[in-house]
Amino acid sequence: MKQRIGIFSFAGAIAVLVFLNFSCGKGGSGSSSATDSILVNMGTNIIVPGYQNLAASATTLDSAVLDFTLSPNSTKLTKLQTDFKSAYLAWVTVSQYNYAGPASGNQPPLNGLDNFPADSAIIENNINGDPSTININAYANRSAKGFAALDYLLFANSANLLTNYTTDANAAKRKKYLEIVAGDIKTEVNSVLNAWLTSYNSTFATGVGTSVSSSLGLVINSLDQEVDILKNYRLGVPLGLIFTDSAVLNPTQVEAYYSGISAQLALTQVKAMQGLYLGTGANGNGLGLTTYVSKSAKTYDVYTGTSLDNAIKAQFTLVITDLQGVQDPFSVTMQSNATQANKAFTDIQKLLLLLKTDMPSLLGVAITYGDNDGD
């Protein structure tokens, strides 16, 4: 998203540096060849299967785009739109890892595939020119690529959408641009998956310790940064709750504005975050962040005397219940009744406090990224 880039650019730089220096010092006392069973489960049972699912969805999406542009019709468009939604949902299940490891070290960084909302003016200008000469990963196109761009290309102006790809004067260029954006998603996702499969999963499993360059440090920082984005940009900005002097709704700022699946994306993302915390992955329950946190017998009076682990679990459940009550399209329902979404925002803010302040403090992990909303 346009506002998000400046705020988290420093964090992105930190993530890349951490990735590049990962092999130089895993834990607080240096590198180790020993594996951590919790990290093994996270990498093998949760993260890699997540990227594999996304890669498969991105491949299906790319194939659907090529089939559609070959001979556009309403049946192919409907299938393409369905495949897009599936890929977008697969994306948000792994977005919590995109500020660490191969995703942050990728060129371009993988998180650039979801800079919502799309800038329709830049997209249309690219289409009016010569799409085949465009560098889709140039900084100028940061809001004209990825899932946000496809959201616009496949759902905006729905009454004339098929015409845009058939009889319109720019139909051939629009089809070419669609192919470029979908192909870029497929390429970037497969690059990150291949890095995990060829070497990084082993590196991740031996990244023991709690230093900023340890696997635990990377995962917690990446998770917390994505929770920040969920709170700030998926909910806060559209609801007029942050970065503004007045509570003015901004419905066009929601993620997936044109396809109308904003709430579904947020719910899917939080469930994936919960899975990482609990250690739940492709092969069922395993070890997760809860395993680290639950080792502490310390109670937190501010959370009614329960353990931090129980407080985090309860807050995840509460947020999921909140988001289940937010109906799509979010851009519409937020204007008629924003109460449920406002409650979700408040409870996500509380979840962020648990994950960004209390959990790192307990585990001895430093939070190295920054934001300016004051949490």
Residue 374 resides in a domain = no
Euclidean distance between the first and final Cα of the chain, in Å? 18
The pLDDT, as a whole number, for residue 336 is 92
Q: What does the alpha-carbon distance between residue 205 and residue 218 come to, in Å, rounded to a whole number?
A: 12
What the block records as the tokens of 189 is 């996702």
Per-residue pLDDT of 324-333, as tens digits, reads: 999 999 999 9
Residue 231 resides in a domain = yes
The whole-number average pLDDT for the span 190-209 is 96
The pLDDT, as a whole number, for residue 369 is 86
Residue 371 resides in a domain = no
Residue 83 resides in a domain = yes
Distances (CA, A) of 155 to 62, 71, 149, 247, 257: 17, 18, 10, 28, 9
Q: What does the alpha-carbon distance between residue 112 and residue 12 come to, in Å, rounded to a whole number?
A: 10
Per-residue pLDDT of 107-126, as tens digits, reads: 999 999 999 999 999 999 99
The pLDDT, as a whole number, for residue 298 is 63
Backbone φ, ψ for residue 15 (5° rounding): -60, -40
Cβ(51)–Cβ(133) below 8 Å:
no
Report residue 360's pLDDT band, with 50, 70 and 90 as the boundaries. very high
The whole-number average pLDDT for the span 194-208 is 96
Per-residue pLDDT of 267-276, as tens digits, reads: 999 999 999 9
Closest CA to 298 of 358, 208, 216: 358
Residue 81 resides in a domain = yes
What the block records as the tokens of 247 is 């509570």
**Helix H segments across the chain?**
2-20, 37-41, 48-70, 74-92, 101-105, 120-128, 146-155, 161-164, 171-195, 201-205, 215-229, 262-278, 289-293, 308-324, 330-336, 339-353, 359-363
Per-residue pLDDT of 332-354, as tens digits, reads: 999 999 999 999 999 999 999 99
Per-residue pLDDT of 229-255, as tens digits, reads: 999 999 999 999 988 777 799 999 999
Residue 338 resides in a domain = yes
Q: CATH number, domain at 73?
A: 1.20.1420.20
What the block records as the tokens of 197 is 């499969």
Residue 375 resides in a domain = no
The whole-number average pLDDT for the span 178-196 is 98
Distances (CA, A) of 218 to 140, 207, 352: 29, 10, 16
The pLDDT, as a whole number, for residue 10 is 33
Q: Which residues pair with 293 in a beta bridge?
A: none
The pLDDT, as a whole number, for residue 241 is 94
Q: Return the SS3 of 157.
A: coil
Q: Which residues contact 119 (CB under 8 A, 6 or more apart)?
A: 2, 143, 144
The pLDDT, as a whole number, for residue 134 is 95
| Crossing angle of the two packed helices 120-128 and 171-195, in degrees rounded to 10 | 110
pLDDT at 11 over 50: no
Q: What does the alpha-carbon distance between residue 19 and residue 221 come to, in Å, rounded to a whole number?
A: 12
Q: Which domain holds residue 251?
A: 2-22+34-363
pLDDT at 9 over 50: no
Name the least confident of 15-24, 63-72, 92-101, 247-256.
Answer: 15-24
Per-residue pLDDT of 224-236, as tens digits, reads: 999 999 999 999 9
Q: Which residues pair with 299 in a beta bridge?
A: 307
Tally of domains within the chain: 1
What average pLDDT is seen over the chain?
A: 89
What the block records as the tokens of 39 is 């990290």
Report residue 306's pLDDT band, with 50, 70 and 90 as the boundaries. confident
pLDDT at 17 over 70: no
Residue 372 resides in a domain = no
Per-residue pLDDT of 137-178, as tens digits, reads: 999 999 999 999 999 999 999 889 999 999 999 999 999 999
The pLDDT, as a whole number, for residue 283 is 77
The percentage of residues in the chain with a pLDDT greater than 90, rounded to a whole number, is 80
